[in-house]
Amino acid sequence: MSETPDGKSIRDRLRAPADTGAANSGGDSRGSDVTDASFQQTDSRAELASHGRDERQHSAPSAPVAHAIQEPRKADLSEAEARSAERKVAALFVLSFLGVIGFVVTFFVAPFKFTERDNIYFTPLLALFMTLALAGIGAGAVLWAKTLMVDEEAVQERHGFASEIEERDATGQALVQGFEQTGLARRSLLRNTLLLGAGSLALLPLPLLLDLGPYAHKEDRFRTTAWKKGVRLVRRNGTPIRIGDLALGSLETAYPDVPGGVQMADTPTMLIRMRPEELKPRKGREDWSVDGHIAYSVICTHLGCPVKLYEQQTHHLFCPCHQSTFDASNGAKVLFGPAARNLPQLPIYVDDEGYFVAKSDYTEPVGPSFWERKS
């Protein structure tokens, strides 16, 4: 772009505006030496024409119109200014190179040479050098474009959207011809079995859609957990929890003693111990706790966060996500926050060996609400 076909540089032509002035002011640059040679290269029509497949010229869009900048820049007029601008751009590019070198050196040197105290500089240094590397290229490119590159605005008309009528006919013919060549029109067995096979593909996603409907809950997976009568409460490492293990004002996270019980999403339970007289069991749940030990689901009934922030003096259970607060001494009743239901309580007792055991599964679904939930 810096050299035009007549061999003159942009700067030469800008110094002598009379050369291009007429073409630019006329608005029609078909004959302008500024544009024809350079811009038509980007015209796909011209490419087609050069391949000999489309000789038509009537549909070719008008060639782009270039407007020279009104005010020549310093670098356009003075070779010394241009050199100076060039040096500035080059300096930015070198800065970018140094940034890359610095990044690589930091990355490889830091693990061997940095002490633990220096380590805090590692990531900031990487960031600094990466900034230099990227910003150097970017700023250099901007400066280059603004000072040295040809500064022209060009307008190019779009060609019509529709293909030519001949082209459309040819495509249609090719399709018809292609269909004939498959032989499907004559071979009805082939055609019918193809329709059968391809048509039945539509059935494939149907079973997946079923999972969105009521069938998914047929097994009551949302309503039941792995807790059941006689299942021991164990810690994360699998050791069972014995009565007396918990001090007053303690909380222990308990899982069911079943295979994979620690990994299940709906079973985590917290076992809390408080003074028996502090406990106000809900009606019908008087025998669900043992000597001040009471067990609730960890999962918030609002959106399922773990409610394990237990305050042993107030007996508040606090959900860190949306500040729902439950009263552990009073059936995990909601005191505050967006949760609509109390935390489900796990009925527990102590077996002959002194270990905590579940009396049954949770009597209501644990965790957040869902469509089919009635309570």
- Distance of closest approach, residue 49 Cβ to another protein, in angstroms: 35
The single residue listed with the structure tokens 């009528």 is 165
* 297 Cβ contact list (under 8 Å, min separation 6): 268, 269, 270, 343, 344, 345, 346, 362, 366, 367
Give the shortest CB-362-to-another protein separation in angstroms: 21
Q: How many residues bind another protein (CB under 8 A)?
A: 36
> Of residues 50, 200, 313, 375, which one binds another protein by CB under 8 A?
313
* 184-223 binders of another protein (CB under 8 A): none
Assess contact for 338 and 325: CB atoms under 8 A: no
Q: What is the dihedral of CA 334, 335, 339, 343, to 10 degrees?
A: -30
SS3 271: strand
- Site for another protein contains 330 (CB under 8 A): no
| Interaction of residue 88 with another protein, rule CB under 8 A | no
Question: x/- binding map, residues 254-293, to another protein, per CB under 8 A?
Answer: ----------------------------------------
Site for another protein in 134-173 (CB under 8 A): 142
Smallest gap from Cβ 358 to another protein, in A, equals: 19
Among 245, 303, 338, 364, the residue binding another protein under the rule CB under 8 A is 245
Decide whether 44 or 314 has the Cβ nearer to another protein. Answer: 314
124 binds another protein, rule: CB under 8 A: yes
Q: Does 252 bind another protein (CB under 8 A)?
A: yes
Question: Phi then psi for 340, rounded to 5 degrees?
Answer: -100, -20
Closest distance to another protein from the beta carbon of 248 (Å): 7
Among 176, 248, 265, 340, binds another protein (CB under 8 A): 248
User: Min. distance of Cβ 124 from another protein in angstroms?
Assistant: 5
Residue 12 has, within 13 A of its CA and on its CB side, a CA count of: 8
Q: How far apart are CA 133 and CA 92, in angstroms?
A: 9
Give min distance, CB of 222 to another protein, in A. 25
Tell me what percent of the chain is helix, strand and coil, each rounded to the nearest 5. 40, 15, 45
**Contact residues for 225 (Cβ-Cβ < 8 A; gap 6+):** 256, 264, 266, 267, 361, 362, 366
304 is written with which tokens?
A: 């399922």
- Residues 355 and 232 sit within 8 Å (Cβ to Cβ): yes
Q: Do 12 and 18 meet the contact criterion of CB atoms below 8 Å apart?
A: no
Interface residues toward another protein, by CB under 8 A: 116-117, 119-120, 122-124, 127, 142, 236, 242, 244-253, 306, 308-314, 316, 318, 320, 323, 325, 335-336
